[in-house]
Structure 1
Amino acid sequence: MRAGKRTACGDGGGLFEDPDFPPDDSSVFTDGSTPISRLQGHIVWLRPQEICQSPVVFPDNIRLSHAKQGLLGDCWFLCACSALLKNRHLLDKVFPPHQPLWSDSKYRGSFHFRFWETGHWTEVTIDDRLPCVDSALCFSRCHAPSAFWVALLEKAYAKHRGSYEQLWAGQVSEAIVDLTGGLAECWSLSHFGSEEEEEEEEHHHNGATRKRLKLDFICTLRATCALSCSTQSIPGGDGVPGQHHAMAVMEWLDVKTLTGSPVRLFRVRNPWGRCCWGGAWTEGGAGWRSLDSADALDIQAKAAQGDFWLEESEFLSHFDDVTVGYPINEEGHLQSIYTGNPLPHRHHLPGRWVKGLSSGGSRNSSSYGTNPKFWLNMRENGEVVVSLLQHGKPRRPSDAALKGDARRRRDRAIALHMWKVDEKRLNLSRTLNKPPRASTRCHAHQREVVLHERLEPGHYLMIPSTYQSGAEARFLIRVFSSSTSSVSALKRPAPPLPLPTDGEWETNHFRGSWVEGRSAGGSRNFPSHAQNPRFPFTVCDEPILPGLNVKVNLSQSRSQSDLLPIGFHIYKIPARKQSLSIAGEDPVASCVPHCYTQDVSLSCTLPLGAYLIVPSTYQPNCAADFTISLARPIHRRVVKSQEKLGRAIQEVSHISMMQSSPLASSSLLH
């Protein structure tokens, strides 16, 4: 939970003051690289009751609840806020109701919000001191001056992201996901392509890369789905050249002209709060004269401040792309934007690309097969939506200066491919040489890419990848399906363990922990490797089997969905030395490469002497508990005996010569 403390504030009656997001420039600016930097030193922080006499969260007139953009370039976030007003159950999730307001005796100056973040809802608590210039809000507000839900939500999101300046420029799709926990897709309108290209797109049926928006897909869901459009230029010269500006699509209507011709009209809202359109369907435009006068008046009456109407041909030609958020019904189930069907079965699993281990790059690379792998098991025919969400790089406000594709390249280029396979007869190399059953088709510089497909029962292998091999990041796989399904991570195979055919073995178990900052030193690629736990043992007898006298198993105590890549090395302690500094030393045996699996094992032959087992995770500072199992052969001297009829066997001697580590019961040495 992100919250501060309640502190006394003199005449304020002990109102909450958030020390983690204080009323100063540190909460507004990150590096001062955006146009709001000119406000430094001019901002004062006021509570709503200091701005107006009777503050409320929402106005009585819903048309005045919509956001009006201030001096902050966060139109992308405000477009996503419009979706919350369409769906009260989503709004209540982000802004829990029944919080004490300014007129309540229980009011203490704090408000609680929730944002979805990589699989979980995170609570953010703020105080209600808002940034103002000349006693007026300088950033976003409602069209009703006395309503403050937008300003409070914007402040909570700014705290969630790090500062107000971090909200300058962004993707509508990201804000929709953060506010709903659902999915969003961005469809390009810039290039329609040839008929052959459109047919190919229709064949692949993948909205993530579709060149042309098929509005009929979402026609039945238009009342509940989030829909926005963006452009690089605003008609009439109101926009900054090259400045990407997002607007909310409030509704669209299919009407007929006086001659019977069909016309599709869109009502678009500009977060600036003013009309910026000069087409045939603006107030007094020629387009309205083609409709019945009563119908024209009814339609025009729907427009609020900042709204304008335009027909489909204008919409498709003047806007560059459209972002569509998947609706979420009151039961909390995602609905497909392609069919309207609910997708009640959902799963998510985390994963990670690690350089040199599981970051194999695109299918161009021979190392593609080392990427993380996941099973999708479909029990029956159904519609499936799978998303790959990468944990984003820290964003800088200066990224706002980037244009178009360069702005999106702040994220790694990612993609997701899927093959239908026989789980029991999987041949990875043969499978990967075949075309995938479904995919996002190309790597995209997006925080999240989405794959949509209809699948028959069976097992499917899913492989997420970055375009460049060696790129490192954490990610989340999310699966939503209309029918019963299951998802699991495909374990990396552990080295085979030879089984003894003769003799007896003694096994000792050692428990230990990798502790962040102390004993989680990582692999030999890192200077901190020597900080890892050490487990000494001795080999006192020659092997009883050719090539085998030591077996070691390392098992991590973590769930299958959150495994770390693990491995271990064995070092020899020189004669007449009690300990060994392993820095710069070469191991005599190793269980590598590090594997994303529950346990790893190694069997080997070691000469007589003293040794250390050093277990590690691949990256430093990865905390976990683990168990090491060490098995060594037991040598027994057996005196032969012969059983005689009618007499008990005389056990002359049966001496066990078990050699155990002098520290077998001790814990780890540091």
Structure 2
Amino acid sequence: MKRDGREECGEGGLFEDQDFPTDDSSLFCDSSTPISRLQGHVTWLRPQEICQSPIFFPDNIQQSHPKQGLLGDCWFLCACSMLIRNKHLLEKVFPAQQPLWSDNKYRGSFCFRFWQNGHWTEVTIDDRLPCVDSALCFSHCNASSAFWVALLEKAYAKLHGSYERLWAGQVSEALVDLTGGLAECWILSDVGSEVDRKPEESQNQARTSKRRDLDLIYTMRASCTLSCSTQNIFGGGVELDQQHHAMTVMEWLDVKTVVGSSGVRLLRIRNPWGRACWGGAWTESGAGWSSLDSSEALDLQARVLQGEFWLDETEFLSRFDDVTVGYPINEEGHLQSIYTGNLLPHRHQLPGRWIKGLSCGGSRNSSSYSSNPKFWLKMYDRGEVLVSLLQHRKWSQMKDKYADTPPKDIMRRQHDHAIALHMWKVKKNRFNLSRTLNKPPCASTHCHAHQREVVLHGQLEPGHYLLIPSTYQLGAEAHFLIRVFSSSSSFLSAMKCPAPSLPSTTDGEWESTYFQGSWVEGSSAGGSRNFATHQRNPCFPFTICDEPVATVGVNVTVTLSQSCTDTDLHPIGFHIYKVPAGEQSQTIPSEDPVTSCVPHCYTQDVTMACSLPSGAYIIVPSTYQPDCTGNFTISLARRIHRRVVKSQEKLGRTIQEVSHIAVMQS
């Protein structure tokens, strides 16, 4: 996929992108953020107009780190820091061999790639960058002559429609967009909320729970990407209260103390503002260093660069609200588990859609949950598996959709739906959907969360697994992508079945069963009841069980669909026979059918709804004339009565990291 700009050459034959022009339409979407005050003050300059000898990436890696400007996109910059130490990922985002400013082939254009909804999308921009007083007003590198961050930020802004749309976001989303991999956000403050609900649990117990979560990834700290965010900027201005700000975890290590056998776990944090904002025990003159060997203390202090600071794990857990973990990706493009370090080389993905009135079944609290889209995951061997559910976002509709929403709330409602993913282990040859859904899932994302993507993790045995993605709200429409990463051989497929509209009811649940069959000339194409060969037609048995409460109305809906083009249609219909006690359900009884869908019609599918008493039945589909060859599917929907599973799911919260413009101005 490509998202190229319309080319137009300006002075000197340099490319000018007409699809992302140098005016306010590229800067602002609704002027709802503090950068709206820049209107009328921004000029657009190429790198060679800003400095004498521009470069893309500096030789000194320490000078390549991104530094935040007047735009609140700390979440994006934390993800960009990951590219610095992963050259193979940087080259994926910025393809090599592009002419730079010193090259005689330079024409003022650059191409970047971002992973979007399952595919890599190319975005071409010109290198005219927004400036105030001849200096970059948004993100830049520590080295003033390096422009990789500013150009990448512009391409990402074009992908989203404007710079202003980068004002708030999630680190996990940017990590996925830059790698095509996975990222998870762990909300540390959830433990604190449990303390509020359970007064008997102490703060020490809460910190222990948080530490246990962090211990899961400690062995992978050198290869995975870590960031953290806080709602209250310690050492910052009071105007940052209730605003999230994201930072990068640069280093995380255990250090021995001089006194006692216990050590201390230290984390080196980088603030994208480019300045430290912490005054704890591990500042340059803090008391914490006295507990370490002097030479080791000096070594650790020497590692601190501009905008960085050390703190210990206790301080970290008390100050930060959540951590985001990006899964490592090796040079072969394989994902690596943050839990075990295992490579997950087997990868599959399939698109899906929740359609209102058809497949928007809502959460497990709803009786229509079973109508949600369904997928089969087959594991050939035991292995570690990650399954993600990613919903698509349509940025072009955001402004119109929230036209009456106060501007300050627009960015907090980027995620249209709270989503979740549940998994059941099943025996496919004896699969019954209703009985399966009555059982607890073998794995799930635990709650519906307002996230673009949720991730399910587990160790799975060989066999078949049913995956059901859902939204919390019934009737919520969206496109989505299911992705599977596994350490052993696996296969992902959609449950292939027609999608007839299920009966509308509020006093029960409907169980759907699907039969595949064929009419074969001279064998099973018996034709209608007008012919003696009708007995040859295929038979499909089903049962209506005794209902605990007598009901009135439709309890069975049958749809017969033939698999052919409109030009090759046969006239089709079907009969339903009651099977007498003691007789086999594979033969057509001599009695007349209890109900029929006739006359036979030249159509793709025919449907009939009826009310049947308890007992055994067979469906007999047929063409009007004998010996008409074709394939067909029968969809059988039966109303059942069971207690709806109450999952007591809790809605997650959307994590947004935003920064106030006032504290970023130097």
Shorter chain as normaliser: what TM range? 0.7 to 0.9
Cα deviation code 1:608-633 (max 9, x no counterpart): xxx885899xxxxxxxxxxxxx9653
Amino acid at match of 2:442: R
Inter-partner Cα distance in structure 2 for 1:335 and 1:368: 33
The answer to whether the Cα contact below 8 Å between 2:189 and 2:321 also exists between their aligned partners in 1 is: yes
Match of 1:42 in 2: 41
Do structure 1's residue 606 and structure 2's residue 599 form an aligned pair? yes
- Residue 554 (structure 1) shift: 5.0
Where does 1:147-546 land on structure 2 (aligned, <5 Å)? 147-192=146-191, 214-238=213-237, 240-260=240-260, 261-394=262-395, 395=398, 401-402=408-409, 407=412, 410-492=415-497
Amino acid at match of 2:425: K
Cα deviation code 1:537-585 (max 9, x no counterpart): xxxx99658999xx9735589xxxxxxxxxx9x9xxxxxxxxxxxxxxx
Q: 1:213 to 1:79 in 2, by over 3 A?
A: farther
The answer to whether the Cα contact below 8 Å between 2:415 and 2:452 also exists between their aligned partners in 1 is: no
The answer to whether the Cα contact below 8 Å between 2:8 and 2:18 also exists between their aligned partners in 1 is: no
Inter-partner Cα distance in structure 2 for 1:311 and 1:400: 38
The answer to whether the Cα contact below 8 Å between 1:86 and 1:224 also exists between their aligned partners in 2 is: no
Corresponding pairs, count: 531
Inter-partner Cα distance in structure 2 for 1:44 and 1:556: 59
Inter-partner Cα distance in structure 2 for 1:218 and 1:38: 42
Do structure 1's residue 7 and structure 2's residue 18 form an aligned pair? no
- TM-score, normalised to structure 2, is 0.74
Amino acid at match of 1:250: M
- Residue 324 (structure 1) shift: 0.3
Q: 1:634 to 1:136 in 2, by over 3 A?
A: same
The answer to whether the Cα contact below 8 Å between 1:505 and 1:632 also exists between their aligned partners in 2 is: no
Cα deviation code 1:475-501 (max 9, x no counterpart): 111111111111111122567779699
Aligned with 1:445: secondary structure?
coil
- Residue 472 (structure 1) shift: 0.7
Percentage of pairs with the same residue: 68
Amino acid at match of 2:625: P
The answer to whether the Cα contact below 8 Å between 1:231 and 1:321 also exists between their aligned partners in 2 is: yes
Say which structure, 1 or 2, has more relative contact order (CA 8 Å, 6+ apart).
2
Aligned with 2:272: secondary structure?
coil
Inter-partner Cα distance in structure 2 for 1:319 and 1:400: 27
Inter-partner Cα distance in structure 2 for 1:612 and 1:379: 43
- Residue 86 (structure 1) shift: 1.8
The answer to whether the Cα contact below 8 Å between 1:346 and 1:481 also exists between their aligned partners in 2 is: yes
The answer to whether the Cα contact below 8 Å between 1:503 and 1:634 also exists between their aligned partners in 2 is: no
Inter-partner Cα distance in structure 2 for 1:432 and 1:40: 55
Q: 1:236 to 1:422 in 2, by over 3 A?
A: same
- Residue 296 (structure 1) shift: 1.2
Match of 2:105 in 1: 106
| Alpha-carbon RMSD | 3.4
Q: 1:412 to 1:104 in 2, by over 3 A?
A: same
Match of 1:17 in 2: 16
The answer to whether the Cα contact below 8 Å between 1:187 and 1:213 also exists between their aligned partners in 2 is: no
The answer to whether the Cα contact below 8 Å between 2:562 and 2:605 also exists between their aligned partners in 1 is: no
- Residue 53 (structure 1) shift: 0.3
- Residue 369 (structure 1) shift: 0.9
Inter-partner Cα distance in structure 1 for 2:517 and 2:488: 40
Amino acid at match of 2:173: E
> Which structure is larger by alpha-carbon Rg, 1 or 2?
1
Unaligned runs of 5+ in 2: 199-208, 499-513, 538-559, 575-595, 607-621, 629-666
Match of 1:574 in 2: none
Inter-partner Cα distance in structure 2 for 1:35 and 1:433: 51
Inter-partner Cα distance in structure 1 for 2:42 and 2:25: 12
Relative to structure 2, which stretch is displaced further, 167-176 or 388-397? 388-397
Inter-partner Cα distance in structure 2 for 1:400 and 1:387: 31
Aligned with 2:348: secondary structure?
strand
Amino acid at match of 2:314: S
Cα deviation code 1:209-262 (max 9, x no counterpart): x96662232223222211000011111233611111100111112111221430
Q: 1:28 to 1:556 in 2, by over 3 A?
A: farther
Relative to structure 2, which stretch is displaced further, 70-79 or 488-497? 488-497
Inter-partner Cα distance in structure 2 for 1:445 and 1:555: 41
The answer to whether the Cα contact below 8 Å between 2:95 and 2:111 also exists between their aligned partners in 1 is: yes
Inter-partner Cα distance in structure 2 for 1:503 and 1:347: 40
Cα deviation code 1:390-444 (max 9, x no counterpart): 11243559888349xx936733111111111101000111111011111111111
Q: 1:612 to 1:455 in 2, by over 3 A?
A: closer
Amino acid at match of 2:408: A
Inter-partner Cα distance in structure 1 for 2:16 and 2:524: 68
The answer to whether the Cα contact below 8 Å between 1:184 and 1:323 also exists between their aligned partners in 2 is: yes
Unaligned runs of 5+ in 1: 199-209, 508-540, 558-567, 571-587, 590-602, 617-629, 636-657, 659-670
Aligned with 1:121: secondary structure?
strand
